[in-house]
Amino acid sequence: MIHQSRSSSRGLWIQTVATVALLGVSLALVFFYAPLEAEQGFLQKIFYVHVPLAIVSLGAFVVGGLFAIQQLRTRSAEWDMRSCAVIDLGLAFAVAALICGSIWAKGSWGHWWVWNEPTLVSFLIIILLYAVYRPLRRSVEDPERQARFASVFAIVGAVFVPLNFIAVRASSAYLHPRVLGASSQLPGEMALTFLVSLAAMTLLFCTLYRFEIGVRRARASLRALRRRASRREQAAAAIAPAAPEASA
């Protein structure tokens, strides 16, 4: 057990170093390798942080739904914890993507927000949807029911995310450039830089997820220890007054 924990923390250390290295490589590619875009110039460099953040966050919501299916199948608290951790981190990444996108919109369109842009509004709807996830969990006290409700929510959300993506892509009026698919016109250097940035962001997410899971497991163990200690105290308190009677 101790050996397993040591090898796991060593693996996490290696993963953290790899994440920092890959983020460094992706930043070097963004600023020293990828050419300036003809229309937006230097401002387009935001693309390499904004789009990977958005893709990773949407992917996280789908993964959270898959973990939730596992939770409903097995009734295991572990899968609930995983689903919750992925969704929490996904929401943080989504908010960061939204802020980056807003900064890009200000530089590019002159407005922080454009309400008639379907991609922006649909992304905001997804964020608002998942913003409800935590309050929903807290509103249910019983841990089993809480896990079940949260899982159903996560599955419905995970189905909504790709449907929303397809609906927005099918929409005709948009300002947002298409990055993925046949309509993408990224030249080779930009495509390579984008893929490395996406890999770096995915690795960053996975590393933060492992830290998050580690802390949540430790907290759960601590809670169990505290419960055991308080039960022992109660048992000791129950025995203590009985002792003089027994001796009498």
Partner 1 sequence: MINAIAPALPLHTAGKYVAAAYIVLLLLVVVYAAALAVRVAGMQRDIAALADAEAAAEEEQ
Binding site for partner 1 (CB under 8 A): 27, 36-43, 45-46, 49-50, 53, 92-93, 96, 99-100, 103-104, 106-110, 175, 177, 204, 208, 211-212, 215, 218-219, 222, 225-226, 229, 232-233, 236
Length of the chain: 248
Nearer to partner 1, 17 or 36 (CB): 36
From the list 109, 113, 59, 110, the residue with the least C-alpha distance to 89 is 59
Whole-number minimum distance, CB 18 to partner 1, in Å?
A: 15
Nearer to partner 1, 2 or 163 (CB): 2
- Written as one letter, the residue type at 51 is V
Whole-number minimum distance, CB 69 to partner 1, in Å?
A: 27
From the list 80, 42, 26, 37, the residue with the least C-alpha distance to 201 is 26
Judge whether 122 and 160 are in contact, CB under 8 Å.
Answer: no
Whole-number minimum distance, CB 237 to partner 1, in Å?
A: 11
Nearer to partner 1, 94 or 161 (CB): 94
Alpha carbon of residue 90 to chain centroid: 2
Q: Which residue has the tokens 């449907």?
A: 163
Number of neighbours of residue 162 by Cβ within 10 angstroms: 13
Whole-number minimum distance, CB 157 to partner 1, in Å?
A: 21
Whole-number minimum distance, CB 65 to partner 1, in Å?
A: 22
Whole-number minimum distance, CB 155 to partner 1, in Å?
A: 26
Nearer to partner 1, 144 or 233 (CB): 233
Nearer to partner 1, 14 or 109 (CB): 109
From the list 170, 207, 158, 163, the residue with the least C-alpha distance to 59 is 158
- Tokens describing residue 33: 């390798």
The helix, strand and coil proportions of the chain, stated in percent and rounded to the nearest 5, come to 85, 0, 15
Backbone angles phi, psi at 166, to 5 degrees: -65, -40
Nearer to partner 1, 167 or 222 (CB): 222
Please name the helix (run of DSSP H) or strand (run of DSSP E) that holds residue 145, with its range, or none.
helix 143-170
